[in-house]
Amino acid sequence: MLDAQVLIVGAGPTGLVAACELIRRGVGVRLVDRAPAASPYARAQLLWPRTLDLLEDLGALDAARSAGHTLNAFSYFSDRAHVATFTMPEELVPLCIPQNDTERVLTDRLHALGGRIERGVRLLAFDDLDFSGSADGVTSILEHPDGRVERIRTAFVVGADGASSAVRGQIGASFTGATYASTFALVDCRPTGAELPTDRAHYYLSAQGVLAVVALPGGVFRFFSVLPPGQEMSLPWMQKAVDERGPAGVRLADPVWQTAFRVHARQADIYRRGRVFLAGDAAHVHSPAGGQGLNTGVQDAHNLAWKLAAVLSGEAPDDLLATYEQERLAVAARVVRETDLQTRAWMVRRKPWTGLRDLAFRAADRSGAIERFYLPVMAGRRLRYPPTRATQVPGRRCGRGGLRPGAAVPYRLADALGVVHGRWTVVTASPGLLPALRRLAEATPGLNVGAAPETPQLCEKPGYYLIRPDGHIAAHGHADDLNRLRAEIEHGVPRRAPAETVRGNA
């Protein structure tokens, strides 16, 4: 007998998104967090477009936008001389919003969906965990604020309990990688003395390492720097760093948060043990360079939740769950690598390396390479789960056209293509293919059909795109590939109508 279908341990951004996604699909969830209250601190501050898509799908984007502002450019200085400015193309602009506001918006959404966070409740251990996952559930031992210990049995557990994850320890996953030698210092305050731009981040590079200045809403700015060995973090120290290498005339005042912290680049070797999953910081931690931490966790949660819901409702076989680790572990490995590179560029201190770095930044500024190749990666627009079956790709080469199997379709483009968000949809821009696709959908009640206008993002050959409930392209093919499409539908699309309507943008 199960007490709930899924236990989520940790109500940070990862756990909150997992809970919202599961509840809106009709799954019974318990969400516990050991902290008695939500953290009041800003921590992560950037939400990139792929994450904004997920919030839009959840019906939380407007609330997030009203609590943040957009960041339109990154400017780099070397010894205070301007080196490069990378301007965000409109479709890649991130939202700058303090993490506590992101969590508030997600908590409001959770409440609107009928969920709640059980605060002050800590996962202690799993009881007699079946490491093969063949038992019908997992027994978790929870400690309540009054000291009461509760044993609950759920079909699955999601460990979204952050970098020092108890769940990770319980399932015996390693957390391999390294900790950077440097300590970082952060001050969020309301500076005076000089006007600072709110729509761009400034990075001051020097022999002392990086000093970053980024605006948060409400007149607050974040000052972020490497702390020299043995140096205590203090407001006067950060003021000295700003005076020596940052924007001229700025006085740090009215601090709302100041802290020093070490940065790690680590990843769990497994994201799943039987019926227990890891997501977010519990599975991977990396440098804040590029602002990817929270975004990657939210995307983990989104990837996992629809799969758990589909398996729990009997719409999909258990083996769908294996694709979670397969897809997300590779994404996190890439994020850890890329943020490490960026962090090393921040830390370069000696000539001639500083000169080479500045040359590279200038060349990238002139060529537009960062805007074309790097920012789309940060924005989550190059996120792609490589196909694993021949039937996911066309039999013959594609013509020109951007979207490839495994890629995530941007939310607004998905709208234009007639995608039913949160459900399986096959879309085509070829009127000639529509009758065949409609016949397939009639035989497959879990499948919707979208008639798309021709757009430059689609393959120029007449064909179809099969879109998963999380907006990723499960398969693409041309008019002569309908047998491949049938095989893909057979493989993954529910034969029966979904049990619940996905409650989203309401």
Three-state DSSP at 444 gives coil
Query: Which of the ranges 41-49, 323-331, 370-378, 487-495 carries the binding residues for ligand FAD, by CB under 6 A?
Result: 41-49
Q: Kindly report the backbone phi and psi dihedral angles of residue 180, in degrees, each rounded to the nearest multiple of 5, phi listed first.
A: -65, 145
Residue 457 burial (CB < 10 Å; 0-12/13-18/19+)? middle
Among residues 475, 466, 456, 302, which one has the least CA distance to residue 386?
475
Does 19 interact with ligand FAD (rule: CB under 6 A)?
Answer: no
Does 11 interact with ligand FAD (rule: CB under 6 A)?
Answer: yes
Three-state DSSP at 96 gives strand
Q: How far lies 176's CA from each of 171, 179, 266, 269, 286, in Å?
A: 15, 10, 5, 7, 12
Lookup result for tokens 């992560």: 44
DSSP 198-240: SSEEEEEEETTEEEEEEE-STT-EEEEEEEPTTPPP-HHHHHH
Site for ligand FAD in 109-138 (CB under 6 A): 122-123
Residue 451 burial (CB < 10 Å; 0-12/13-18/19+)? middle
Does 233 interact with ligand FAD (rule: CB under 6 A)?
Answer: no
Q: Which of 7, 22, 29, 45 binds ligand FAD (CB under 6 A)?
A: 45
CB of residue 483 to ligand FAD, shortest distance in Å = 42
Rounded Cα distance between 340 and 292, Å, is 12
Rounded Cα distance between 69 and 502, Å, is 29
Does 34 interact with ligand FAD (rule: CB under 6 A)?
Answer: yes
Query: Which of the ranges 11-19, 56-64, 227-235, 440-448 carries the binding residues for ligand FAD, by CB under 6 A?
Result: 11-19
Does 98 interact with ligand FAD (rule: CB under 6 A)?
Answer: no
Q: Is 80 left (phi over 0), alpha (psi -120 to 50) or beta?
A: left
Q: Which of 49, 297, 380, 410 binds ligand FAD (CB under 6 A)?
A: 297
Does 261 interact with ligand FAD (rule: CB under 6 A)?
Answer: yes
Q: Which of 7, 8, 14, 310 binds ligand FAD (CB under 6 A)?
A: 14
Q: Which of 44, 210, 375, 437 binds ligand FAD (CB under 6 A)?
A: 44
Does 292 interact with ligand FAD (rule: CB under 6 A)?
Answer: yes
Q: For residues 84 and 187, which CB has a smaller minimum distance to ligand FAD in the complex?
A: 187
Does 9 interact with ligand FAD (rule: CB under 6 A)?
Answer: yes
CB of residue 10 to ligand FAD, shortest distance in Å = 3
Does 20 interact with ligand FAD (rule: CB under 6 A)?
Answer: no
Expressed in angstroms, the distance from the first to the final Cα of the chain is 33
Binding mask 353-372 for ligand FAD (x = CB under 6 A): --------------------
Is the peptide bond between 352 and the residue preceding it cis, with omega within 30 degrees of 0? yes
Q: Which of 166, 250, 304, 321 binds ligand FAD (CB under 6 A)?
A: 166
Q: For residues 122 and 491, which CB has a smaller minimum distance to ligand FAD in the complex?
A: 122
Rounded Cα distance between 43 and 31, Å, is 22
Does 304 interact with ligand FAD (rule: CB under 6 A)?
Answer: no
Note the helical H segments in 89-245. Answer: 99-112, 166-170, 235-245
Does 151 interact with ligand FAD (rule: CB under 6 A)?
Answer: no
Site for ligand FAD in 183-212 (CB under 6 A): 186
Q: Which of 5, 6, 8, 12 binds ligand FAD (CB under 6 A)?
A: 12
Q: Which of 246, 291, 492, 494 binds ligand FAD (CB under 6 A)?
A: 291
- The residue type at 195: E
Using an 8 Å Cβ cutoff, are 452 and 416 in contact?
yes
Query: Which of the ranges 286-294, 364-372, 437-445, 464-472 carries the binding residues for ligand FAD, by CB under 6 A?
Result: 286-294
Q: For residues 49 and 297, which CB has a smaller minimum distance to ligand FAD in the complex?
A: 297
Q: Which residues bind ligand FAD (CB under 6 A)?
A: 9-15, 32-35, 43-46, 99, 122-123, 160-162, 166, 186, 259, 261, 280-281, 288, 291-294, 297
